[in-house]
């Protein structure tokens, strides 16, 4: 193909480029003749045998279709040739404008696209984030063991016993808001509006418990199975459950039973019940090791996040908008998959405010793209490579997580062109691990 003629790239900003490209008339003519020949062989026109339709008839009959195919063939080809000539690396699809194509004349068009910015990563060798303390104290081990005892607790029903502080009341209750906002009143007036009353059954309330609302403790103390209580609760504006914060609720409570919590003692018998431990000392040792491993994992995650935070703060550069948008898309897709896994229905997902969701993901997506570009540049400088074995291991992990055969996952990723993305991801992770080891 003849080299297209072009002017100097014009940049609207550091990541945007626009090329004005001309494809020579001879090249346009040859491509047009190729398309006409194809149509001549395939066209079915009354009065002519298939494959014998004259070129002039084809040209007149399928003028728009031929022009469209010629443009679709020439533009990508000319665009690729020009970006290679100028050693540009587009990171977005070109937006074609000002297309001009007349018979016997060159094909003219403009192509706007984005490229990676020039990045010069600085000061990454000196990064030394402070590491969190990973020491596990005896108090923390004791607290973890007590939590195991709490999880193993049972509840004994106490017959003919009034509720006292420290007991657990098994209740059923309904709660109705005492006042409504104007919006809530309007919604409630609808004939299809659901009842604002909330009902729960078989709820255990620790009377006098640290996290028990005091009105429940006051009105349940002294009650026995079968008793009913009615009372109001005015929740503070900063109450932890935002659905109740600042509201007044009228409760109707029925006591079903009175129970006492039985918590097992911390002894060798308990250790044997919890797992295959011969003694409390063996259980304590395993709990400590688990906590140390978890703290070390959290500390490593913290240091990695701090490394990325420092890298992004120290290296300011423009980011292609197309890359940010793709990162936002990926984050939203992961979020929607998580909602689906939690049981959210498709029709409910369609009601989500996607503009608001996209706006909420933008800052994190921008940081994610910047970090990826910086780590990629560090990997270049440090000559960090990714082997085929590294990719194979990642595919095996993905297959295990999705519970599908490895070859099925490999075939899908190959078809989607995702293997390069996986290789880039591994390379970035290796670059981050390199920085983590240097900071040790």
Calculate the alpha carbon distances from 238 to 10, 215, 234, 250 in Å. 55, 17, 12, 19
Asked whether 318 and 117 are in contact (CB, 8 A), the reply is: yes
Q: Which residues contact 299 (CB under 8 A, 6 or more apart)?
A: 131, 132, 134
- Residues 76-108 pLDDT 10s: 999 999 999 999 989 999 999 999 998 889 999
Mean pLDDT of 418-432: 93
User: What pLDDT does 192 receive?
Assistant: 43
- Residue 397 pLDDT exceeds 90: yes
Residue 260: per-residue pLDDT: 93
Please check whether the domain covering 5-114 is classified as CATH 3.30.70.1050.
Answer: yes
157: Cβ contacts below 8 Å, ≥ 6 apart: 257, 258, 259
Nearest-angstrom CA–CA distance, 154 and 143: 19
Determine contact, residues 48/57, Cβ cutoff 8 Å.
yes
Q: How is residue 438 written in tokens?
A: 């240097």
CB neighbour list of residue 96: distance below 8 Å, 6 or more residues apart: 75, 109, 110, 111
Output the pTM of the full model. Answer: 0.70
Domains in the chain: boundaries: 5-114, 154-262, 383-440
Domain 154-262 part of CATH 3.10.50.40: yes
- What is the 8-class DSSP label of residue 296? H
Are 373 and 116 spatial neighbours (Cβ–Cβ below 8 Å)? Answer: yes
Q: How far is CA 398 from CA 113, 115, 183, 402, in A?
A: 33, 31, 47, 6
State mean pLDDT over 56-85. 88
pLDDT band at 196 (very low <50, low <70, confident <90, very high): low
Tell whether the model's pLDDT for residue 52 goes beyond 70.
Answer: no
């Amino acid at each position: 193909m003849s080299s297209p003629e072009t002017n100097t790239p014009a940049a609207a900003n550091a990541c945007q480029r626009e090329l004005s490209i001309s494809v020579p008339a001879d090249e346009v003519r040859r491509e047009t003749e190729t398309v006409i020949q194809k149509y001549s062989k395939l066209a079915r026109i009354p009065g002519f045998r298939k494959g014998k339709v004259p070129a002039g008839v084809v040209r007149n009959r399928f003028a728009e279709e031929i022009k469209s195919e010629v443009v679709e063939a020439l533009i990508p080809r000319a665009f690729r040739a020009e970006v290679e000539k100028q050693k540009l690396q587009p990171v977005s699809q070109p937006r074609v404008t000002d297309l001009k194509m007349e018979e016997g004349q060159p094909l003219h068009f403009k192509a706007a696209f984005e490229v990676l910015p020039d990045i010069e990563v600085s000061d990454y060798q000196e990064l030394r984030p402070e590491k969190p303390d990973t020491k596990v104290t005896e108090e923390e081990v004791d607290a973890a063991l007590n939590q195991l005892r709490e999880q193993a607790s049972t509840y004994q029903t106490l017959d003919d016993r009034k509720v006292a502080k420290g007991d657990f009341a098994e209740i059923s209750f309904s709660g109705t808001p005492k006042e409504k906002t104007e919006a809530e009143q309007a919604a409630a007036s609808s004939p299809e509006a659901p009842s604002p009353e909330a009902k729960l059954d078989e709820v255990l309330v620790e009377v006098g418990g640290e996290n028990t609302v005091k009105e429940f403790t006051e009105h349940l103390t002294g009650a026995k199975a079968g008793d009913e209580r009615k009372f109001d609760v005015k929740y503070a504006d900063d109450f932890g459950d935002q659905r109740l914060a600042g509201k007044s609720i009228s409760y109707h409570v029925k006591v079903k039973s009175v129970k006492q919590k039985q918590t097992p003692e911390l002894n060798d018998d308990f250790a044997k019940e919890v797992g295959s431990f011969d003694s409390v000392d063996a259980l304590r040792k395993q709990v400590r090791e688990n906590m140390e491993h978890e703290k070390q994992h959290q500390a490593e995650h913290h240091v990695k996040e701090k490394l990325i935070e420092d890298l992004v703060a120290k290296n300011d550069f423009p980011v292609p908008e197309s890359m940010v948008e793709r990162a936002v898309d990926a984050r939203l897709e992961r979020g929607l998959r998580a909602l689906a896994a939690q049981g959210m229905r498709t029709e409910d997902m369609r009601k989500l405010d996607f503009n608001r969701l996209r706006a909420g993901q933008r800052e994190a997506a921008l940081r994610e793209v910047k970090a990826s570009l910086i780590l990629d540049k560090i990997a270049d400088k440090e000559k960090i490579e990714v082997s085929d074995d590294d990719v194979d291991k990642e595919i095996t992990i993905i297959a295990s997580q999705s519970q599908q055969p490895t070859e099925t996952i490999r075939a899908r990723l190959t078809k989607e062109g995702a293997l390069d993305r996986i290789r880039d991801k591994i390379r970035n992770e290796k670059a981050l691990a390199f920085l983590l080891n240097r900071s040790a």
